[in-house]
Structure 1
Amino acid sequence: MASAKPRLGDLIEISRDGFQHWAIYVGDGYVVHVVPLGESPGAGTGSSSVSSGSVMSNTAEVKRDLLTDVAGSCTLKVNNQLDKELKPLPVEQILRRAQRMVGKKMPYDIATNNCEHFVTKLRYGVPRSLQVENAAMGAGLVSALGAAAIGAATLANSIMRN
């Protein structure tokens, strides 16, 4: 484990090749997390960047698994970074909400309703995915830089013709 021992209600970030899987610590070595249908708890712990279940499935199941099984050989850390801007719900409420969800199937979308959205909704009452937000900002920046480069090239061509 890369950081301090998790406490009840902590968000656990599991670094896999190219993405992070998220879970919430519920005690005694267990986490609650969302697993796309057809994917095992530790899927994506190998060399593939994103498991096919994450991309292809539009349904997921909420599971309670041992953290060691979910993480496999991947590194993990407690990551409650949204505590800086969002107030966590009381731990008892987080645990109760997480336990009620176990075994339920739910809509899944890697961009709008993924494992990080799920655990942040449990902890804060608000679904957020910084992983998706950062990717979207990066895509927007790349798009803006591309547009700026095209604009600069057009301006340069215009100046050179005159």
Structure 2
Amino acid sequence: MAEGRRDPQPGDLIEIFRPLYQHWALYVGDGYVIHVTDEEASSIFLSSSSISATRAKVKMELLKDVVKNDNWRVNNKYDRSRTPRRVKEIIRDAEQWIGEEVSYDVLTNNCEHFVTELRYGEALCDQVEEAINGGVIAAALGIVASVAAFAARALLRR
């Protein structure tokens, strides 16, 4: 399995661990990746994660320049449940996007959606689902804690 490797092959998904999120790119060979990036972001912390971004640009850049000092790995995590497209098709389709401005939405059309669409023919993003589910769980725990505190106060008043 390719997950976790540090020797990318053309067509591999690259997961880059930014301080507050994971950025995704597609390895195309010779040290280069293609990825979606929010050029208006004021820092690397906001690039491709800006909640207010509605447009982004598809770029081909050296992996080392995209990663900078962050950790990264090959992560073809959906290979277990989906069949990757042929590498030549993945690369051909990815290269057609270079330089294009695309619509961007952090929840429905982000950098992970972009690269998974290229590799699998389907836009997927666990990162968003996990954040939404985590938020729902956190909200539910907050409600439970509030109810418990209210009940405890009610019992103490008796």
Cα deviation code 1:68-102 (max 9, x no counterpart): 11111211110111212222112121111101111
Task: Tell me the distance in 1 between the aligned counterparts of 2:5 and 2:125.
Answer: 21
Give the TM-score taking structure 1 as reference length.
0.84
How far 1:161 sits from its partner (Å)?
5.7
Per the alignment, in what secondary structure is the counterpart of residue 56 of structure 1?
Answer: coil
> CA distance change for structure 1 residues 142 and 34 in 2, over 3 Å: closer, same or farther?
same
Cα deviation code 1:46-82 (max 9, x no counterpart): xxx4349833321011111111111112111101112
- The letter of the residue matching 2:115 is V
How far 1:108 sits from its partner (Å)?
0.7
Query: Which residue does 1:116 correspond to in 2?
Result: 112
Percent pairwise identity: 45
Query: Which residue does 1:67 correspond to in 2?
Result: 63
Give the TM-score taking structure 2 as reference length.
0.86
Per the alignment, in what secondary structure is the counterpart of residue 60 of structure 1?
Answer: strand
Task: Tell me the distance in 1 between the aligned counterparts of 2:41 and 2:144.
Answer: 42
Query: Which residue does 1:7 correspond to in 2?
Result: 9
Cα deviation code 1:22-60 (max 9, x no counterpart): 1000111111100113359xx51xxxx434983332101
Counterparts of residues 1-162 of structure 1 (less than 5 Å): 3-39=5-41, 43-44=43-44, 49-51=45-47, 54-158=50-154
How far 1:159 sits from its partner (Å)?
5.0
Cα deviation code 1:124-155 (max 9, x no counterpart): 11112222111111101101111222333344
How far 1:156 sits from its partner (Å)?
3.9
